[in-house]
Amino acid sequence: MVEIMSKKRDFWNHYFRFRDLTQFGNEQLFQKLEDVDSVRNWLGTNYILANIPPKYFKFEFDKIKKRILTVEKNYESIEKLESYLKNIANAFEKGIGLYLSGPHGVAKTTISIIILKEAIKKNYKCFFCKSSEIINFARSGWKNEERKIYWDYIVDNVDFLVVDDIVRLFDVSEKERVHIDEIFTKRDDANKVTIITANHELRDNKDVFGEALYSNFKERLIEIDLVGDDYRDLLGEQLMDGLLEKKEDK
């Protein structure tokens, strides 16, 4: 009980500090936080604070699991994911993340967010970002002291960080790569959990990021490969369910 209360206090400290920083680093996220009732909707506030898109708020693992298991090759991957979710506290303690790979539409992003939501329920600080956000920072944000403070806070303080669609990071200059490499290196040094989604295998990062960072990935990330059809129609079904719920409420 004492530990839970301590984590809740830690959350509120994080909430107010990060909300202030978003004014300069992410104005859209700041506005969302301004509009939410953080006291009455603690979980929803956490999801917004973690930059999770609203369409994923109600999406749960069991729903996507049924579809993924229609492909026999995914059985082992599902077992790994279930084990990770059950042992998320150990993942936090040891800084063990995931590398979710596979073609477009096999639910990599959805699964990464489901893991964040589970971590949030256990009072861990989480953040979801697309690789394009990191690229924007690497290209110009680091020159702005306030945006740099915003990103430094995310890198240094977030317990679980998702970097979605890492392949976009391949198309950057050497100068920009220095800032990108620093993000992953700092999290590795701080024993923080990073979850990466990609359309390519982990080994394909070696030629792009270099031996040192690739070695860090291998040591820190459990690779889970997913195959199958495009599961994004499930999100469409989820949106329709939400639409019908609102109609019924009226």
- Distance separating alpha carbons of residues 131 and 18, to the nearest angstrom: 20
CATH 3.40.50.300 fits domain 2-249: yes
Least confident of 100-109, 129-138, 167-176, 233-242: 233-242
Helix (H) or strand (E) holding 148: helix 145-157
Split at pLDDT 50, 70, 90, the class of 141 is low
pTM to 2 decimal places: 0.87
Q: Which of 123, 180, 159 is nearest to 5 (CA)?
A: 123
Q: Tens of pLDDT along 222-246?
A: 999 998 766 655 555 555 555 555 5
Q: Tens of pLDDT along 79-122?
A: 999 999 999 999 999 999 999 999 888 889 999 999 999 999 99
Split at pLDDT 50, 70, 90, the class of 130 is very high
